[in-house]
């Protein structure tokens, strides 16, 4: 069973009688363990697609099965639970909480989870170890470099051991060298078995993936398997 | 979502903007402070007045001419009324009329000043019976003595003065046996009272006492009294004595319609009831006014919370993205509002208690008033409770707005 199964997804935004159609019928499946890049120019609808995939938004028509579950019938509460337990997000702007330590930022998803409180710190430390930031536990985000901030965000996405991680332009706010380092961190997670979906318009970032889907004007342009060219682990 | 983490998060958010948090709760602080202070000071003042009232003794009954004052003109009528005369005193002292009456001491107020040589002092000059002050207020001269019953009968021109009067007129020189002038009449000083300060309605230090007969006939040329102090026998039913007094006076004054009474009876009980009613009504009135400032404070909190929700749109979006439910967000902002208002309540209450303690200390130290400091537990509970309720009411709307935020919109917000 595919982890993600999209069937003819459309999305329309209506405001004051004008309807803006963003997605015109997107269909694809993603298996567990895949590393997929979704590429497209700005305005192509790739962010909207990510929001639907990440259960932050609902499609207008079409069906979306997440782990076999029809997402259209899920309540807000059920969506919040799935986002918490099965999905990790990494954003372009990092979205770390100010005046909150690295450790506590990473612990944030656990506050809303069923995880016992005494395991919070241990889980957060394991996640931070994955991204190589154990030496920054009690730093504030403002004391970190851009790359470090994004790695904290990745640790936060990881902390609840999700099935899938969505990264929305994870290197968009970083210079190319730091961006590569962040992509390598994400790639490492894939090697450890996580399903990864990266949204990007940068070819260099997209090429870490095993599969690249391009979107243009709300439709799939191409969908192809690739050999990860940047990977240290490339076969 | 565990509540401890939420509280911690809320406190952090409030501390991050501590200056603003403080300003936000200022309205609540002032409102709660006003309420608690009004109640605390009201209770203190009421106790002070009641203590003074009680010091005249439960057995004391005061008979005044005119009507029970219910409006300002009644008080004037009381001052001008000439309805209480010697025949009333005589009738009251007959055991057949008022069996449980022990004493009846008529009083005559002499307006004006006491002078000695070139010194003039405005004292409270009172024509009274020889032993009224001693019996009612337990004050006796420490130099000389009170005038006697004979002095009353013979219209003797004698006076007993308070310590302040003596000091003002005579300084350190001897006053006993000297003659002072009141209302054009020379009166010989026969007694000087020790310094006692305020006793009930009287400042004993400021008093001049002479035989009521002298005050009435020789000084003022009147045949009525301004007041009659009566004492019931110990263990007597004061209410019954008051009723007997009323019945006797109606008979001597030929009054059949109680609404036409030209006198009224005041007992400790009636004073206590009046004082309590007045202070309670006043307290409720002031608390109602103070409550308005509390409402304004609540609206202030709501305003700032709304700004805070807008400012923290991104944070709300992120929290939702990582799994916070609408209820989690609602709870977080409600807790912030509650912490703010609760802190405001505690702060306001503390300030009010401090001021209240200060007032009673100052009153006791500098004004020799027996103003008790009371810790009004009811007022504290009310202040903290109401401020917390304000937090619940005015925090709800911003918290609901926060909870309703769409995570996508929130994350897009830059």
CB-CB neighbors (< 8 A) of B6 in chain A: 111
Residues of chain B contacting A, Cβ within 8 Å: 1-2, 5-6, 12, 16, 314-315, 317-326, 328, 407-408, 411, 414
Domain residue extents for chain A: 31-56+82-225
Helix (H) or strand (E) holding A189: helix A176-191
Domain residue extents for chain B: 3-53+275-412, 82-261
**pLDDT in the model for residue A159:** 94
**pLDDT in the model for residue A235:** 37
Cα–Cα distance for residue pair A20/A218, rounded to 1 Å: 11
> Hey, are the CB atoms on B321 and A108 less than 8 Å from each other?
no
**pLDDT in the model for residue A233:** 46
Cα–Cα distance for residue pair B272/B279, rounded to 1 Å: 11
Residues 130-159 on A with a CB inside 8 Å of B are 156
pLDDT at residue A228 greater than cutoff 80: no
The interface pTM score, or ipTM, of the predicted complex is: 0.91
CB-CB neighbors (< 8 A) of B325 in chain A: 76-77, 80-81, 112
Backbone angles phi, psi at B44, to 5 degrees: -60, -45
Cα–Cα distance for residue pair B179/B35, rounded to 1 Å: 55
> Hey, are the CB atoms on A80 and B1 less than 8 Å from each other?
no
* Chain B interface disruption, residue of A46, A51, A111, most B CBs within 10 A: A111
Q: Give tens-digit pLDDT for A99-136.
A: 889 999 999 999 999 899 899 999 999 999 989 899 98
Is the model more confident about A152 or about B252? A152
Local confidence pLDDT in tens for the 414 residues of chain B:
567 777 887 888 788 778 888 888 888 898 888 888 888 888 888 887 777 777 667 788 888 888 776 665 666 666 667 888 888 888 888 888 888 888 888 999 888 889 998 888 988 898 988 877 777 677 888 888 888 888 888 999 999 999 889 988 988 888 889 999 998 889 999 999 888 776 666 778 888 999 999 998 888 888 899 888 888 888 888 888 888 988 898 888 888 888 778 888 888 888 788 888 888 888 888 888 888 888 888 888 888 889 889 988 999 999 999 999 999 999 999 998 999 899 999 999 999 889 988 888 888 888 767 777 777 788 888 888 888 898 899 999 999 999 998 888 878 755
pLDDT band for position A199 (cuts 50, 70, 90): very high
Residues forming a β-bridge with B125: B110, B208
CB-CB neighbors (< 8 A) of B2 in chain A: 111, 117
Q: Which CATH superfamily groups domain A31-56+82-225? A: P-loop containing nucleotide triphosphate hydrolases (3.40.50.300)
Query: What DSSP line would sit under B148-183, residue for residue?
Result: -HHHHHTT--EEEE-HHHHHHHHTTS--TT-EEEET
Do the bridges between strand A35-39 and strand A211-216 make them parallel or antiparallel, or are there none, so unpaired? parallel
Closest CA to A166 of A195, A146, A207, A189: A195
Q: Which of A28-32, A81-85, B46-50 has the lowest mean pLDDT?
A: B46-50
Q: How many other β-carbons are positioned within 10 Å of the β-carbon of residue B291? A: 14
Span A31-49, average pLDDT: 90
Residue showing tokens 């301004």 = B226
pLDDT at residue A49 greater than cutoff 50: yes
Is the model more confident about A98 or about A88? A88
Closest CA to B101 of B113, B110, B88, B92: B92
**pLDDT in the model for residue B69:** 66
Backbone angles phi, psi at A194, to 5 degrees: -75, 145
Span A158-179, average pLDDT: 91
**pLDDT in the model for residue B201:** 62
pLDDT at residue A234 greater than cutoff 60: no
Cα–Cα distance for residue pair B253/B247, rounded to 1 Å: 10
CB-CB neighbors (< 8 A) of B5 in chain A: 111
Closest CA to A58 of A16, A3, A9, A91: A9
* Chain A interface disruption, residue of B5, B18, B317, B318, most A CBs within 10 A: B318
Q: Which conformational region is residue B144 in: left (phi greater than 0), alpha (psi within -120 to 50 degrees), or beta? A: left
pLDDT band for position A39 (cuts 50, 70, 90): very high
**3-class SS of residue B114:** strand
pLDDT at residue A42 greater than cutoff 90: no
**pLDDT in the model for residue B382:** 83
């Amino acid at each position: 069973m595919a982890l993600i199964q999209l069937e003819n997804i459309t999305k329309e935004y209506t405001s004051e009688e004008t309807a803006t159609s963003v997605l015109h019928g997107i269909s694809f499946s993603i298996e567990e363990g895949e590393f997929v890049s979704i590429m497209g120019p700005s305005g192509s609808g790739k962010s909207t697609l990510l929001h639907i995939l990440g259960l932050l938004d609902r499609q207008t028509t079409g069906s979306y099965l997440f782990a076999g579950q029809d997402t259209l019938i899920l309540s807000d509460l059920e969506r919040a639970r799935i986002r918490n337990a099965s999905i990790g997000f990494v954003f372009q702007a990092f979205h770390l909480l100010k005046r909150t330590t690295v450790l506590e930022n990473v612990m944030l998803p656990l506050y809303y989870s069923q995880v016992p409180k005494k395991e919070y710190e241990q889980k957060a430390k394991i996640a931070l170890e994955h991204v190589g930031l154990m030496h920054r536990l009690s730093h504030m985000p403002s004391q970190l470099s851009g790359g470090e901030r994004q790695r904290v965000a990745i640790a936060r996405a990881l902390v609840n051991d999700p099935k899938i991680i969505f990264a929305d332009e994870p290197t968009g706010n970083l210079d190319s060298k730091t961006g590569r380092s962040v992509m390598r961190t994400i790639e490492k997670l894939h090697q450890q078995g996580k399903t990864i979906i990266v949204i990007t318009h940068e070819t260099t970032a997209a090429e870490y993936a095993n599969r690249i889907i391009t979107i243009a004007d709300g439709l799939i342009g191409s969908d192809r398997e690739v050999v990860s060219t940047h990977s240290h682990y490339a076969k | 979502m565990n509540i401890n983490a939420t509280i911690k998060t809320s406190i952090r958010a409030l501390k991050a903007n501590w200056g603003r948090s403080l300003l936000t709760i200022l309205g609540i602080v002032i409102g709660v402070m006003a309420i608690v202070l009004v109640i605390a000071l009201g209770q203190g003042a009421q106790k002070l007045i009641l203590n003074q009232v009680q010091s005249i003794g439960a057995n004391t009954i005061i008979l005044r001419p005119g009507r029970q004052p219910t409006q300002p003109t009644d008080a004037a009528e009381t001052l001008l009324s000439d309805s209480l005369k010697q025949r009333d005193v005589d009738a009251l002292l007959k055991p057949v009329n008022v069996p449980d009456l022990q004493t009846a001491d008529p009083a005559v107020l002499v307006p004006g000043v006491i002078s000695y040589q070139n010194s003039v002092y405005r004292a409270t000059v009172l024509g009274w019976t020889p032993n009224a002050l001693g019996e009612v207020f337990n004050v006796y001269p420490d130099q000389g003595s009170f005038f006697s019953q004979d002095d009353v009968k013979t219209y003797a021109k004698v006076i007993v003065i308070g310590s302040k009067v003596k000091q003002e007129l005579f300084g350190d020189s001897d006053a006993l046996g000297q003659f002072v002038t009141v209302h054009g009449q020379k009166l010989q000083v026969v007694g000087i009272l020790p310094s006692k300060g305020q006793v009930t309605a009287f400042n004993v230090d400021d008093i001049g006492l002479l035989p009521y007969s002298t005050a009435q006939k020789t000084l003022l040329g009147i045949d009525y009294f301004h007041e009659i102090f009566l004492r019931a026998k110990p263990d007597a039913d004061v209410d019954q004595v008051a009723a007997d007094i009323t019945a006797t006076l109606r008979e001597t004054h030929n009054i059949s319609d109680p609404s036409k009474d030209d006198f009224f009876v005041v007992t400790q009980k009636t004073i206590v009831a009046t004082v309590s009613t007045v202070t309670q009504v006043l307290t409720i009135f002031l608390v109602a006014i103070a409550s308005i400032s509390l409402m304004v404070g609540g609206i202030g909190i709501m305003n700032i919370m709304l700004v805070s929700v807008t400012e923290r749109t991104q944070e709300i979006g992120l929290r939702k993205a990582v799994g916070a439910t609408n209820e989690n967000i609602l709870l977080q902002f409600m807790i912030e509002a509650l912490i703010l208002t609760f802190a405001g309540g505690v702060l306001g209450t503390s300030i009010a208690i401090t001021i209240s303690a200060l007032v009673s200390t100052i009153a006791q130290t500098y004004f020799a008033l027996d103003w008790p400091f009371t810790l009004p537990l009811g007022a504290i509970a009310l202040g903290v409770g109401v401020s917390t309720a304000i937090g619940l009411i005015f925090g709800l709307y911003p918290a609901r707005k926060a909870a309703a935020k769409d995570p996508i919109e929130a994350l897009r917000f830059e």
